[in-house]
């Protein structure tokens, strides 16, 4: 067996893990991944705090309020918006604005926005979702470089560009246009008949 017929690279689990990681990285780079991650992270404290108890140094802190239903709705909507932004990147601006609005609404409705963590992560995730833009396709980039402005490319002026025109003042008529007040020549009147 020659080296030309042997597959290059590791074979076995390392190869599978490497291919999986490269596939995930390619998927992640084509969508607003980090905005979705922060949107999901914002939903965790907003969902957990109204229903869970926190124990600090033997003291149990219960943050259960009447806002439990509102927190549940806000948290589930944040999860839905983050997943929508991941799997439908075309609606990223809507998801980002809605995530930011829900994070702000969670401030009075859900224990100060999940003690500030949900509010902070929601605003950060919403901003990342709104500001993300896809990279241009490789064919578009190659075409724009080929058609780009090169200084050594020959250029020609069109006849209309060869003479510089002065901008007209407000209400002034162009020099080539006939004036409405000026009498027309007799030859011109005969041509019009």
How much is the pLDDT for 151? Answer: 59
d(CA 69, CA 77): 12
Model confidence at 82, in pLDDT bands (50, 70, 90)? very high
d(CA 138, CA 37): 27
Q: Chain-centre distance of CA 24, in angstroms? A: 20
172-191 pLDDT, tens digit each: 666 665 555 555 555 555 56
> In this model, does residue 155 exceed pLDDT 90?
no
The answer to whether residues 95 and 5 touch, using CB atoms and an 8 Å cutoff, is no
């Amino acid at each position: 067996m020659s080296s030309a017929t042997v597959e290059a690279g590791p074979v076995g689990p390392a190869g599978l893990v490497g291919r999986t990681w490269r596939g995930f990285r390619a998927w992640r780079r084509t969508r607003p991944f980090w905005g979705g991650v922060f949107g999901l992270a914002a939903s965790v404290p907003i969902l957990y705090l109204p229903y869970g108890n926190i124990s600090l140094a033997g003291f149990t802190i219960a943050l259960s309020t009447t806002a439990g239903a509102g927190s549940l709705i806000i948290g589930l909507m944040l999860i839905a918006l983050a997943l929508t932004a991941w799997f439908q990147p075309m609606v990223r601006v809507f998801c980002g604005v809605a995530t930011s609005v829900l994070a702000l609404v969670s401030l009075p409705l859900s224990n100060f926005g999940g003690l500030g963590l949900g509010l902070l992560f929601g605003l950060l995730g919403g901003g990342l979702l709104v500001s993300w833009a896809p990279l241009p396709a490789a064919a578009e980039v190659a075409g724009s470089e080929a058609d780009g402005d090169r200084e050594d490319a020959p250029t020609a002026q069109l006849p209309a560009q060869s003479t510089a025109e002065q901008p007209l003042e407000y209400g002034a008529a162009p020099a080539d246009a006939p004036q409405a007040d000026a009498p027309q020549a007799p030859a011109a009147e005969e041509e019009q008949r």
